[in-house]
Chain A
């Protein structure tokens, strides 16, 4: 054979290998987690490897790793690998991986999402816990998110709260002459927030109270409707009722805080100066966000954390009820070949009071287990993480938001956009409420 023929054959082989190599790597779902795609665990000689996906949060991920290492110590044949994704990427990855059959064994799932993925999740086995028993051991709010119809699709680990109490920087309060001991009314609150606001040349350089992030605004609005004696859903839960006197009162109150120049929603919102960032870099004196934020930020901002307390927000009237989402917990996908081991770990992490409490402490989240929210267990948690104290006091007032048809759209596209439009004068309160109700009802399909 001629040299030219060998050369051509060699080139053909090289091109083919290059193209195949490119095809094999192109389109691969590269997670920026600890490595590798999701996929079921492997078995071999009794050894089991489980994979878990979770959203990226320093304190949450540390808490999960602690749970995993503790479980592995008791079960040496089991290895659990954690892969983390930033929040939006996790949502997208779940949306593609679950229907495609590429989901991991374990998913750290947000309760309010669970029912939308129920087709791809296994129900909690009865030998782990029945729904009836779960209703006794878990708070109704967190459990509600994982309950779809009459089936339980996960075990909650936290009671999520994003309203009810506010972060308060006591150093800023002292400097402004504010006595940080709570407020009997919104007028008192607004007055104190104004004192803590710093305005230079007409621009707010430090907000008095940050509530204009997506979660804060939605929870504030819905909670104030309920506190005003109304409801955001009709009786059978088939339509939203936002354009009501209670809705108008709630939105008007929130707008009044912007008009009083306690916050500028143009500068402080979900995209810029998000409440956690804003508070801990001291651009906000107060802000509404759950205690998990303190766990996330305290190591990087110890001075601010040392001057931080939570104080209960004033009620609108007599009712102190506030709206809460379900919370994060553990689900098992139908793709897992080791579902029994996966549920065993989930039970270890979420049902064992001591392990669950340890998880709550590290992540800065309120317990989902009733046992850990009362008595000596609660006192221990408060002693170890004082930021819990106010939240435990108000936790009984938390009301599960319910199974909404499209929670993300309602919060982040409808209430957030129209709320900010009303605050900035782009829409009147009436126009904003009309649009909110109309668009929210579209989500029922």
Chain B
């Protein structure tokens, strides 16, 4: 009896149509899983391991992955140094603190600004004639398709102190030679935020709003018209309909886009590197750039790995907090 059950089990797994399907799925997914293990999971594990070593590729360690020896195990020393806020802290610690502040400021400015722009814009696009909607969607989505490096180069040109478009427009209006260093003058601050950081935010928003826009448009289209008609019959104005009907029903989408935008904002690298390279005076030195420079310019891989662990933890915690705060019980 048990042998018969075993034979049936084997036939279920390996024989017949079911077996063929399972083999097909395994055959298709195995390369992808192997790919992910080698090129995604393994680097993450390696980064976590490096965070506990004072590792530099310049130094030859032990034969075991180069760890140990001249690249000694330091345990939590990197993380302890990150908590050092004394005046005698090392330059890499002070740059880490600066990068942390810049990254948090960038992310917490970009997300609400992005939503504040894309949500009303999506609502406006949804209100126009059907034939015109694709035009607006395309126009706003085009920057998303552009290379970030290309976008950064364009904005560097726009903001160039001598040949830039922005100063040229100011010059045309004022008739005076204008050489404002939008991304090079550390003295320029607006509402306590360095103008150079604002410039990167503007460039990022310019490229990114199209992405959330199409998501919101799709979400708005999914809201049943009957719900809005019922509200209108009850005497609700357009604003009241939006405030009490549309917005709550969009909460799941808002949660999704805010999490995605936040995660993306924490990882922005190319805009920072090409537009400002962390300057002026580290005012745009984001964590991603800090990790890159510490790892590849100053060859402090262990420290850079520790910073990347901190960045990972930050994104994880904030995403979790967002999920808790913005979860919605509204359904339709």
Task: Give A contacts to B, CB under 8 Å.
Answer: 5, 8, 11-12, 15-16, 19-20, 22-23, 26-27, 88, 91-92, 95-96, 98-99, 116-117, 119-120, 200-205, 264, 266-267, 269, 271-273, 283, 406, 408-409, 413-414, 417, 420-421, 424-426, 438-439, 442-443
Decide: B39 and A267 in contact? CB cutoff 8 A. Answer: no
Cβ-defined partner of B177 (8 Å) among A92, A200, A406 = A200
Contact pick for B298, options A8, A27, A273, A408, CB 8 Å? A408
Q: Are B187 and A420 in contact (CB under 8 A)?
A: no
Query: In the bound complex, what is the Cα–Cα distance between A406 and B300 (angstroms)?
Result: 11
A-B contact pairs, 15 of them (CB 8 A): A8-B24, A15-B27, A15-B28, A98-B57, A116-B58, A117-B58, A119-B58, A200-B177, A204-B179, A266-B184, A267-B184, A406-B298, A417-B282, A426-B281, A442-B92
Q: Within 8 Å of chain A (Cβ to Cβ): is B59?
A: yes
Interface positions of B from 19 to 67, Cβ below 8 Å from A: 20, 24, 27-28, 31-32, 34-35, 38-39, 57-60, 66
In the assembled complex, which residues on chain A have CB atoms less than 8 Å from the CB atom of B24? Answer: 8, 11-12
Query: Which chain B residues numbered 259 to 307 have a C-beta less than 8 Å away from chain A?
Result: 276-277, 279-282, 296-299
Contacting residue for B60 out of A92, A99, A406, CB 8 A: A99
- 9 closest A-B pairs by beta carbon, nearest first, are A19-B31, A439-B91, A201-B177, A266-B181, A200-B177, A203-B179, A12-B27, A442-B90, A201-B176
B91 is contacted by which of A11, A92, A264, A442 (Cβ under 8 Å)?
A442
On chain B, the residues within 8 Å of A414 by CB distance are 91
B98 to chain A, nearest CB (A): 11
Contacts of B78 in A (CB 8 A): none
How many angstroms from the CA of A12 to the CA of B23 in the assembled complex? 9
B185 within 8 A of A: yes
Number of interface residues of B (CB under 8 A): 41
Q: A88, B60: Cβ atoms under 8 Å? A: no
- Complex Cα spacing A269 to B183, Å: 12
B149, CB-defined interface residue at 8 Å: no
Alpha-carbon distance A16/B28, docked complex (angstroms): 6
Please report whether the interface of chain A is mostly helix, strand, loop or mixed according to DSSP: helix
Chain B residues within 8 Å of A, Cβ to Cβ:
20, 24, 27-28, 31-32, 34-35, 38-39, 57-60, 66, 88, 90-92, 160-162, 176-179, 181, 184-187, 276-277, 279-282, 296-299
Instruction: Give the docked Cα–Cα distance between A417 and B88 (Å).
Output: 18
**Docked pose: A12 CA to B297 CA in angstroms:** 43
Contacts of A267 in B (CB 8 A): 161-162, 179, 181, 184
Neighbouring A residues of B162 by C-beta, 8 Å: 205, 267, 273, 283
Q: Does A19 lie within 8 Å of B177, measured CB to CB?
A: no
How many A-B pairs have beta carbons closer than 8 Å: the answer is 112
Residues of A within 8 A of B60 (CB): 99, 119-120
Q: Are B59 and A119 in contact (CB under 8 A)?
A: yes
Task: Report the separation of the CA atoms of residues A358 and B276 in the bound assembly, to the nearest whole angstrom.
Answer: 39
Q: Is the interface of B mostly helix, strand, loop or mixed?
A: loop
| A203-B171 Cα distance, complex, nearest whole Å | 12
Known: A20-B31, A22-B35, A417-B282. A266 touches B161 (CB 8 A): yes
A16 touches B31 (CB 8 A): yes
The interface residues of chain B lying within 8 Å CB-to-CB of A202 are 177
One of B32, B92, B280, B296 near A92 (C-beta < 8 A): B296
Chain A residues whose CB sits within 8 angstroms of the CB of B281 once the complex forms: 417, 420-421, 426
Q: How far is the CA of A8 from the CA of B184 in the complex (A)?
A: 59
Report B-chain residues with C-beta under 8 Å of the C-beta of A27: 39
Contact (Cβ within 8 A) A19 B179: no
Given contacts A95-B58, A283-B162, contact A426 B298 (CB under 8 A): no
CB within 8 A of B297: which of A23, A91, A96, A426?
Answer: A91
Q: How distant is A267 from chain B, measured CB to nearest CB, in Å? A: 5
Report chain B residues within 8 Å CB of A96: 57
Bound-complex Cα distance A15 to B30 (A): 10
A406 to B92, CA, bound (A): 13
Q: Which residue of A has the minimal Cβ distance to B279?
A: A271
Cβ B280 vs Cβ A420 within 8 A: yes
B179 touches A272 (CB 8 A): no
Residues in A whose Cβ lies below 8 Å from that of B184:
266-267, 269, 271-272
Contact call B20/A26, Cβ cutoff below 8 A: no
Complex CA–CA separation, A119 to B60 (angstroms): 7
A412 and chain B: residue at smallest CB distance: B297
Q: Which residues of B contact A88 (CB under 8 A)?
A: 297
Residues on B with C-beta less than 8 A from A272 are: 160-161, 181, 184
Partner of A99, one of B57, B276, B296, B297: B57
Q: Which B residues lie within 8 Å of A95 (CB)? A: 57-58, 296, 299
Q: Complex Cα distance A205/B178, Å? A: 10
- 17 new A-B contacts, CB < 8 A, other than A271-B279, A272-B181, A413-B91, are A12-B28, A15-B27, A16-B31, A19-B35, A23-B39, A26-B39, A27-B39, A95-B296, A117-B58, A269-B184, A271-B184, A271-B276, A409-B91, A409-B298, A421-B186, A426-B186, A443-B91
CA distance A15 to B20 in the complex (A): 16
Q: How far is the CB of A120 from chain B (nearest CB, A)?
A: 8
Taking a contact as CB atoms under 8 Å apart, the answer to whether A424 and B187 are in contact is yes
Q: Which residue in chain B gives the minimum CB-CB distance to A115?
A: B58
Please, which residues of chain A bring their CB within 8 A of the CB of B176? 201
Q: How far is the CB of B23 from chain A (nearest CB, A)?
A: 8
Interfacial chain B residues near A19, Cβ < 8 Å: 31-32, 35
Across-interface contacts of B59 in A (CB, < 8 A): 119
Residue of B27, B187, B280 near A16 (CB, 8 A) is B27
CA distance A122 to B281 in the complex (A): 39
Once the chains are docked, how many angstroms separate the CA of A202 from the CA of B174?
14
Cα–Cα distance between A271 and B58 once the two chains are bound (Å) = 27
Quick check: B186 and A424 within 8 Å, CB to CB?
Answer: yes
Q: In the complex, which residues of chain A have a beta carbon less than 8 angstroms from the beta carbon of B91?
A: 409, 413-414, 439, 442-443
A274 to chain B, nearest CB (A): 12
Which residue of chain B lies nearest to A92 when distances are taken between CB atoms in the complex?
B296
CB distance from B192 to the nearest CB of A (A): 15
CB-based contact A99/B66 at 8 Å: yes
Contact partner, A426, options B32, B34, B38, B187, Cβ 8 Å? B187
What residues of B have a CB within 8 angstroms of the CB of A420 in the complex? 186, 280-281
Q: Which residues of B contact A409 (CB under 8 A)?
A: 91, 298
- Is there contact, CB below 8 Å, between B31 and A23? yes
CA–CA, A425 and B277, complex, Å: 21
- What's the nearest-Cβ distance from chain B to residue A379, in Å? 41
CA distance A424 to B32 in the complex (A): 54
Q: State A271–B273 Cα separation when bound (angstroms).
A: 11
- With CB as the reference atom, state the residue of chain B lying closest to A413: B91
Q: Give the residues in chain B near A443, CB-CB below 8 Å.
A: 91
Within the complex, the shortest CB–CB distance from A332 to chain B, in Å, comes to 17
The complex places the Cα of A420 from the Cα of B279 at a distance, in Å, of 11
Closest chain-A Cβ to B110's Cβ sits at a distance in Å of 23
CB distance from B37 to the nearest CB of A (A): 11
